Homo-oligomer: A and B are copies of this chain.
Amino acid sequence: MPLEAVADPKIRDSIVARVASIESIDANRFRVILELATATTGGDVTQLTNMLFGNCSLQDDVELEDVAFPPELLRHFGGPRHGIAGLRALVDAPERPLTCTALKPQGSSPQTLADLCETFGRAGIDVIKDDHGIADQAYAPFAERIRACHAAAERASASTGKPVVYAPSLVGSPRRIFEQGERARECGIRAVLLAPMLIGLGTFAEFVSTFPEFVVLAHPAFGGASRISPVWLFGKFFRLLGADATIYPNYGGRFAYSADVCHALAEAAREPWDSIRPAMPVPAGGMPVERVGEIVAFYGTDVMLLIGGSLLMAGDRLAERSRTFARAVVQGV
């Protein structure tokens, strides 16, 4: 609102946002630092988002680049409940890069998805998640699907002697998401996939605090990354709200992020940040198995590689190609 219309001096002094600095970046762009009063957030994730990028998101030429949180807000939101260390403990791999793949296509029956899950698990892949497009559809109802896939992962684990983690995709209105969480808990499932922007950032944070036992993989779907910095949104904000691992489109794949953006995003997810646990960066999106060596060299060992389509294209040679993927990452080949 117009500053002239703010009559109360206390509000002008302690509530109205302040422009801390304006810095010219190039001929057309400026970096503007605003200071917001933490009291305006009411300690709520949704209202925090409202303050950070509510109406500003409607300005075509404004991008939200980064946020510096005071320690009390960091501790209030809490970040990952498990983080990189908890994810590593779950798959019993304390140091090496991890592997991840996706069950798809949607339209497949629970049995088909479970068979795929078992093949991937026996091949030595650490985390097997549902494709994020798999929800609660008539052709693969949620409860039946997760029971079948989790049992398949358990069988693969028993056979190989190595933990295999199945992470179902939870999608829906808040009521459905929480019901799906209950079903997953009953099955003994330990990890889940959630898309925070799709289900709502407040729903995501509420889910994380309601189900602290799940290792949470965050998916970028509906993230509209061009208006909010993907480094901040997927790297830092998803982490702050409790993502233990954050999935994003890797450079050189079918999405458009540069190597610089991906590097910065991975650093944002795992760099020291007050009391907030590191979250695992999960590069994904159209990567062939042949790129494993290059990608691990780029990110180092605190990374989980997510390869889906490139495995599924192998057809009859799926198990072999999955083993190649798992081995390449495990052995550093």
A residues adjacent to B (C-beta < 8 A): 1-2, 4-8, 10-11, 14-16, 39-42, 44-47, 49-51, 53-55, 57-61, 104-108, 112, 131-133, 135-139, 171-177, 195, 198-203, 205-206, 220-228, 249, 255-256, 308-309, 312-313, 315
**A5–B312 CB distance below 8 A:** yes
Q: How far is the CA of A309 from the CA of B175 in the complex (A)?
A: 37
Taking A59-B256, A108-B11 as contacts, is the C-beta distance between A312 and B2 under 8 angstroms? Answer: yes
Name A202's contact: one of B60, B132, B173, B255 (CB within 8 Å). B173
Tallying the copies of this chain within the complex gives 2
Q: How far is the CA of A132 from the CA of B58 in the complex (A)?
A: 14
Q: How far is the CA of A89 from the CA of B306 in the complex (A)?
A: 55
Residues of B within 8 A of A105 (CB): 1, 5-6, 8, 11, 15-16
Q: Chain B CB within 10 Å — which of A55, A132, A133, A177 has the most?
A: A55
**A42–B138 CB distance below 8 A:** yes
Q: How far is the CA of A259 from the CA of B105 in the complex (A)?
A: 43
Closest 4 CB pairs of A and B: A200-B200, A15-B107, A54-B221, A174-B174
**A226–B137 CB distance below 8 A:** no
**A202–B202 CB distance below 8 A:** no
Give the Cβ gap from A269 to chain B, nearest Cβ, in Å: 17
**A108–B138 CB distance below 8 A:** no
Residues of B within 8 A of A8 (CB): 105, 107-108, 112
Taking A174-B174, A256-B60 as contacts, is the C-beta distance between A198 and B49 under 8 angstroms? Answer: yes
A and B contact pairs by CB, cutoff 8 A, 30 listed: A1-B312, A8-B108, A11-B107, A39-B137, A40-B107, A41-B135, A42-B138, A45-B173, A46-B171, A46-B173, A47-B136, A47-B137, A47-B172, A54-B132, A54-B195, A54-B221, A54-B222, A57-B221, A57-B224, A58-B221, A58-B256, A60-B225, A60-B256, A61-B256, A174-B174, A174-B206, A175-B206, A176-B202, A200-B201, A226-B226
Can you add 14 more A-B contacts, CB < 8 Å, to A2-B313, A41-B135, A58-B221? A1-B104, A1-B312, A7-B315, A16-B105, A39-B138, A42-B137, A44-B135, A47-B137, A50-B221, A174-B200, A174-B202, A203-B203, A226-B227, A227-B227
**B107–A221 CB distance below 8 A:** no
Q: How far is the CA of A223 from the CA of B8 in the complex (A)?
A: 30
**A224–B221 CB distance below 8 A:** no
Give the Cβ gap from A130 to chain B, nearest Cβ, in Å: 12
Name A137's contact: one of B7, B40, B199, B225 (CB within 8 Å). B40
Residues of B within 8 A of A227 (CB): 224, 226-227
Taking A8-B108, A57-B222, A223-B58 as contacts, is the C-beta distance between A199 and B132 under 8 angstroms? Answer: no
Residues of B within 8 A of A312 (CB): 1-2, 5
Residues of B within 8 A of A220 (CB): 55, 58
**B221–A228 CB distance below 8 A:** no
Q: Chain B CB within 10 Å — which of A51, A60, A174, A205 has the most?
A: A174
Give the Cβ gap from A314 to chain B, nearest Cβ, in Å: 8
Q: How far is the CA of A172 from the CA of B47 in the complex (A)?
A: 6
Taking A173-B202, A315-B7 as contacts, is the C-beta distance between A136 and B54 under 8 angstroms? Answer: no
